A and B are shown apart, each in its own frame.
Chain A
Amino acid sequence: GDSVTQMEGPVTLSEEAFLTINCTYTATGYPSLFWYVQYPGEGLQLLLKATKADDKGSNKGFEATYRKETTSFHLEKGSVQVSDSAVYFCALSDRSGGSNYKLTFGKGTLLTVNP
C-alpha cells in the first residue's frame, strides 16, 4: 500500500537558518505530493503541492521538488522565521486502485525556530 516516511523530529533551528525536511514515499500509482503545516491547536493548512515528476511546488518561501527517480519530495526554505514554528506533514494522494484521492500522511516533523 501507499506510505510516506519523513524525517524524524524535532528540528530546532535559529532564525534565518536553512531548512530541509526529508520525505520519501511508496505508491502503487503516480501520486500527487503535498506538504501540509499544522500550527499549535489548529487544523492542517496546505503549504504546497506537486502533481507530476520534476514539478516544483512553492509557497511562502518554501519549496519542494517531485523526484520520481528517488521517490522523494523534500521540503526546503532558505531562511526560516520564528513564525515558521509548526508541525510539517508530507502526504500523497493516489488515484490508482480505486483510491479516490484519499490522503496518506507521514508522521509529521516538529520545527522550532528560535530568535
Chain B
Amino acid sequence: DAGVIQSPRHEVTEMGQEVTLRCKPISGHDYLFWYRQTMMRGLELLIYFNNNVPIDDSGMPEDRFSAKMPNASFSTLKIQPSEPRDSAVYFCASNTRWAASGGVGNEQFFGPGTRLTVL
C-alpha cells in the first residue's frame, strides 16, 4: 500500500479563489482525519469521518471550509473563498480500530500533506 495519498502536494492560489484538497486513505481504514499545520498553532484537527460520515467538525474554522467523503477511498477539503490566513500545510490521516485491517489502536497514518499558499 502506498499509504495515505494527498493531492496536490503544493497549491498556490490568489485570495478569493476556490481551493480543493484531496485525500485517499489507506485501503481498509474507516477513519479519516483532516489537520492543518501552522507555525503558530501547530497541528489542529479540522474534521474527522468514520465510515464516510462526519463525526466531529468542531475544528473547522468557518463556513468557508467544507469537507466531504463521498466514498471509503476519497475525501475532499474545500476552501471557498480562500484567504491569505488559510496558508498552511494540510494533512490527511487515516486509521482503523480493526487489527485485521492493519489497525494499531489509535495510531494514525499521515499523508505527505498539501502546502497551500494563498496570495
Do these two chains interact? no
Q: Which residues of A contact B (CB under 8 A)?
A: none
Q: Which residues of B contact A (CB under 8 A)?
A: none
